[in-house]
Chains A and B, each alone.
Chain A
């Protein structure tokens, strides 16, 4: 176990549904990330939160809405998704100390396998 949990592990939803993915980290990190992993494509960074503030939004469609209520929790709210949004959604966390210039590894959760029908 990496200290990052994700729920649910599997999700099947229709295009008109609204659902949320949840990520929780127990590592005391101050940055959290959402990635999308589709078949035969590189892992795509979707959102980055540092100290609960969104610092990156990689042109992700508005049907994906992130929320970071505190440094331990990260949500991805989904609505009116498309079949091409079916993928493995991975959450990660890391400790970032920008003043020291240090960089650390990211710890990933097991992912949520999303299928949009």
Chain B
């Protein structure tokens, strides 16, 4: 079954507003990562939060992780039109020496000018 599930599936807000996306997962993780994808392009890594961390910031991004609830949130503050993209959470499950990232279906974020 799918490990990460994002909520909502689609989000449309006005430029300047904050956008919050949530991710839930089912099993224990090593870390959780958030990625962004512009339409038809490859994914770009945004932020990685380890299982022993609760909050992490990177510029306008703020990620929280609650391992007791098996959930994470991504907050984008002061949104811009260029933030329009799909956002995915991915949980990292250990598999020998390589990662096995399991992605959710993503949240499609639209920032209206």
Size of A's binding interface in residues, CB under 8 A? 34
Q: If the complex has contacts A31-B98, A42-B103, A55-B97, are A105 and B33 also in contact, measured as CB distance less than 8 A? A: yes
**Is B42 a contact partner of A109 (Cβ separation < 8 A)?**
yes
Bound CA–CA A105/B89 (angstroms):
12
Bound CA–CA A55/B101 (angstroms):
13
**Is A43 a contact partner of B96 (Cβ separation < 8 A)?**
no
Chain B positions 54-92 with a Cβ under 8 Å from a chain A Cβ:
88, 92
Contact of A111 among B31, B42, B44, B96 (CB under 8 A): B42
Bound CA–CA A33/B103 (angstroms):
14
Q: Does A67 contact B (CB under 8 A)?
A: no
The 7 closest A-B pairs by CB, nearest first: A108-B42, A50-B98, A98-B97, A105-B45, A43-B103, A31-B98, A50-B97
**Is B104 a contact partner of A42 (Cβ separation < 8 A)?**
yes
Expressed in whole angstroms, the minimum distance between the Cβ of B36 and any Cβ of chain A is 10
Contact of B99 among A41, A42, A103 (CB under 8 A): A103
Q: If the complex has contacts A105-B48, A111-B40, A111-B42, are A50 and B103 also in contact, measured as CB distance less than 8 A? A: no
Size of B's binding interface in residues, CB under 8 A? 28
**Is A48 a contact partner of B98 (Cβ separation < 8 A)?**
yes
Which residues from B are CB-within-8-Å of A50?
Answer: 96-98
Interface of chain B: mostly helix, strand, loop or mixed:
strand
Q: Does A45 contact B (CB under 8 A)?
A: yes
Q: Which chain B residues have a beta carbon within 8 Å of chain A's beta carbons?
A: 2, 4, 30-31, 33, 35, 40-45, 48, 50, 88, 92, 95-106
A81-117 toward B: CB 8 Å interface, digit per residue (1/0)?
0000000101010101110000111111111010000
**Is A42 a contact partner of B105 (Cβ separation < 8 A)?**
yes
Bound CA–CA A85/B103 (angstroms):
19
Bound CA–CA A113/B87 (angstroms):
20
Contact of B42 among A2, A42, A105 (CB under 8 A): A2
**Is A90 a contact partner of B42 (Cβ separation < 8 A)?**
yes
**Is A43 a contact partner of B97 (Cβ separation < 8 A)?**
no
Which residues from A are CB-within-8-Å of B98?
Answer: 31, 33, 48-50, 55-56, 94, 96
